[in-house]
Each structure stands twice: as structure tokens, then as C-alpha cells.
Amino acid sequence: MKVAFIFGKGIEGCGVTKGANIFESWLVSQGHETIVIDFDNKQKFGRAKDTEWKSTIHRVESDHELEDAQPVLDEVNTCDIAIIHSFPTRKNGKYIDRFREFVEGIGDPIIVIHDHAITKNTINRQTQAAELFSLADIGVTQSFEGYSNECYLHTDPGLEGRLMENPIWVRTGEYDKHRASLEDRKKHFMYMGRMSTLKDPGMICRIEPYLKNDWDLTLMGCERSISSIGDPNSKTLATDAAPYHKSYQPKIKFVGTNSAGEHYEPAKEKEKTGTTITAYDSYKYDFGMSQLGSSTAAWCGYRLGDPKEYGHRMEYTVIESFLLSLPVISKHFAENAVSPEGKKWGEYYGPLISEATCEEELAAELNRIYDNKEEWEARTKACQELVYNFNDIEVLGPKFLDFVLTKGKRRDNINFIDRISSYFPSAKQRREAGEIIVSTPGSVLNEKAYTLVDGRQNEIKEPKETGATLEGFF
């Protein structure tokens, strides 16, 4: 069997890439053939170079028109399954229709399309998501109860029974080499992951006053950005997720990473004294895992505003923390998110639970557990078992493949432009004229007609259909 992995946004090197890479490696280990398609939309991804693929990478260059990409499309059409992991966003306006037309050209392969977005805001950044899902044979969303799931079934009822939640899988055995015994671990509390307000990396800085004398504190992979600095005049530092606020910066030693992936201290940082937190803007994977595997505990602050979007999964950095350290999960996640067997994550023995404003209590608990070897070992072992049960690629890979192959191709796909003609009658004409038709979940569910102009949604005021009102009737 032959499977194509298609990145319409380009290979990013983040969690989306990681999941695809693990599945690709597993497929090859099972004797299958794979290809990888990387679309260049003139958007740079620094982490992409760190991912090693088992197969050939076919690249659709930024200056390629659809006809230039025909040899790549022909190669995809030799596959049994084509998995689309990402698609252009508003930032990639020039390339949005090129990618849609590429997908429309996929014939015999079973088309699997992922939506990796988890909040209404990020879901609605995907300019033609609803239309692309109408081309899918299988859809993969983050939650059966979520916003995107609602949209795709509303748009195309033929997807009923063909949607599945995103499986977050890992090769569990590969983490053993990074796992140190408690005797070989320092008092070390860390956060691992990119800068995201959803993950609250600010916890490391807020807890610093209670751990600074005895514990190493680390922010691993949390890049400096506008959101990481936050509001300079914030009145809510006690709950702010930003770790690099100006009041924290004197305590932090920032470690840079050169093009070879080696860490170094910038001259300015060498001059600092009295720092209590170390921040790495990026890291090579083995280095990050060795740090995690020698830490006492790891902050996993992931939480969402809408509990319906959680689905039955954990994020990769949370899973890695479950495998290599003692995870501290957010209270909101613990009380609202549900495991694949239907239990709330907070009902399991193993992880600690905390949230913003509870830093002093958490510090006391970390100190207590560090001095109680038996409890630390029991909790971390229980956490590892949860991942072995729910996230092992050797378990999930066959299930995913079986679902896709059993459902197979469908023949009841809608014509999307016809589908939206009741509220966007000029869509066909506008597309023929070269305009980009927006089909975000928000636009489809709310029946709003939009085109994309300079990266922004432009609402089209369509005339009401004749007969739709008394005035129209007469």
C-alpha cells in the first residue's frame, strides 16, 4: 500500500508534523510505501529541518502554478491513501486556490483531511476549510463535540460516520533512554513547549519565589514573541500566561540556539547575575527529552476556554511529560477533558493538578513528593501506563488504518459552490473571475458570504432572492 502525506501549509516541524512523521515511520516499518508533499507558500518554518522522513519529499515551489505541480499530483494519484495534514491560511492568500485545485485533482486515493485547530479563532483562520472537507472521504477533527465537527457535518451530511477524532500517537519505547531514576534527578521543575497562552508557561515565573532557592526552573522551547511578553502594564500578573513580562526578565537567563542546533549564551546574558530561570528559545529533540527525563516535575498547563473542544486526547508535550516526568496538569483540563475510556483526566491517580494563583501550594507539594520516593515512583509509573494504553502507535496505527480502509471512497460528495448558493449566489461567478471564496466554519454556519482580500474577509452583500420576502413576491 502507498500513502501520501500532504502539507498544504508547508512542513512546520511542530505537533502536526510530529504526528504525521510518527505514522509515516510506522507505515514503512509495516512494509508500506510513503511519499511526502511539501507546499512552499513563502512561509519559513525553522523547526522543519529537524524532521527526518523515511521517503522522498516532493516539493511544490512557491512560483509553481497548478500545471507545474502536475507531476507531483500524478505521483499522489498512484497512492491508495492521501492524507492532508494542513492547508493554506489567510496569510497564504496567493496559494489558497492553488492548493484547493490540487486536492480536487486527487482521484482514486482515499482522501483523509485533518483539521488540527482547537479554538474557534484558529479554526476560522482556515480560509477554505469547509470546502476542503467536502472533498474528503474521511475527516479528522479534534473533538466530536467541537465547532469544526459541527461545521463539516452541517456543510456535507455525507461525512456522517466518516469523521474521527485526531489520534495523538507516540513510539513509547523510544523514551526509555531519556528516563532517569529519581536519585539521578535534580530538583527541577520545567515547562516544555512553544509560547501559547493556552499552555500558560507563565506558571514557571509565578512559582519562582517559592522554589528559587532549591529548584532549577526551565522554559524549554518557549520562543520570545509579543504574546510571551504580554502587557507591560498588566494588572493581572497573578494569572497572566506570558513568561517574559518585563518584571520577570531580570530573573531569566535566555539561551540562544545557532543554526547547528547548539546552545550558547548571548553576550548580554553572560552579564546577568542572580538569575533563577533558564529559557531556551528552541532545542534539539534529544536534548529536550533528556532535560525532561531528568526533571522532577513538568508543568502541563494546557487548557481551553470551551471544554467541548478538548476531545479525548492530550497534546504531545503533555504526553512526553507523562512518559518522562511527573506531570502537573491544569485544573480546567483535569475537571473537563475526558480520556478515550470516558474518565476525566483528573480522576486518574498519577498527575498533580494545579492552576494560576495556586503556586505556593504547588511548590509545597513538589517539595513533599521529592522527599517521598515511593509516591513519586508510583505516580510517574501510573502516568506512563496511561500513555501506553491510549497513545502507543502500535495500538492506534492499525485502528486508524482499519477505519480509513473500511470506510473507503465515498460517492456522495457535494458540490460546495452549489451548496452555498442559497446565501452566496454570486460565488460561482466570483470564483471564475479569480476571487477567493471563503469557507471558514464561521462563514458557513452563519451563512455569511465572504471573499478574501489582502488577507482579510470581505463581506459580500448579496441581494435577497426574489420571493424570499413579501416585497420580493410583489
Q: Is the pLDDT of residue 468 over 50?
A: no
Across-strand partners of 435?
A: none
Per-residue pLDDT, 469: 42
Side-chain half-sphere of 331: how many Cα atoms within 13 Å?
A: 7
Backbone angles phi, psi at 428, to 5 degrees: -65, -45
Per-residue pLDDT, 43: 75
Per-residue pLDDT, 467: 41
Name the band, by pLDDT with cuts 50, 70 and 90, for residue 471: very low
Q: How far apart are the first and last CA of the chain?
A: 61
pLDDT in tens, 181-234: 999 999 999 999 999 999 999 999 999 999 988 999 999 999 999 999 999 999
- CA-CA distance, 179 to 50, in Å (whole number)? 22
Mean local confidence (pLDDT), 142-161: 92
Q: Which residues of 37-67 are buried (b: 16+ CB within 10 A; e: fewer)?
A: bbbebeeeeebeeebebebeebebeeebebe
Cell numbers that stand for 449 in this block: 458570504
Name the band, by pLDDT with cuts 50, 70 and 90, for residue 241: very high
Per-residue pLDDT, 45: 64
Per-residue pLDDT, 464: 58
> β-strands 81-86, 2-7: how paired?
parallel
Per-residue pLDDT, 348: 98
Mean local confidence (pLDDT), 8-17: 82
Q: Which of 118, 79, 85, 120 is nearest to 99 (CA)?
A: 85
Domains of the chain, start order:
2-169+395-417 (3.40.50.2000), 172-390 (3.40.50.2000)
Contacting residues for 465 by C-beta, under 8 A, at least 6 apart:
422, 425, 472
- CA-CA distance, 220 to 101, in Å (whole number)? 39
Q: Is the pLDDT of residue 474 over 80?
A: no
Per-residue pLDDT, 15: 76
pLDDT in tens, 328-352: 999 999 999 999 999 999 999 999 9
Q: Is the pLDDT of residue 463 over 90?
A: no
- CA-CA distance, 245 to 73, in Å (whole number)? 47
Q: Is the pLDDT of residue 473 over 50?
A: no
pLDDT in tens, 388-436: 999 999 999 999 999 999 999 999 999 999 999 999 999 999 999 999 9
Per-residue pLDDT, 198: 94
Q: Which amino acid, 190?
A: M
Q: Is the pLDDT of residue 324 over 90?
A: yes
Contact 252, 277 (CB under 8 A): yes
pLDDT in tens, 24-74: 999 999 999 999 999 998 777 666 566 788 988 999 999 999 999 999 999
C-alpha separations of 424 from 165, 242, 450, 459 in Å: 31, 41, 8, 10
Burial (Cβ within 10 Å: 0-12, 13-18, ≥19) of residue 258: exposed
- CA-CA distance, 220 to 324, in Å (whole number)? 15
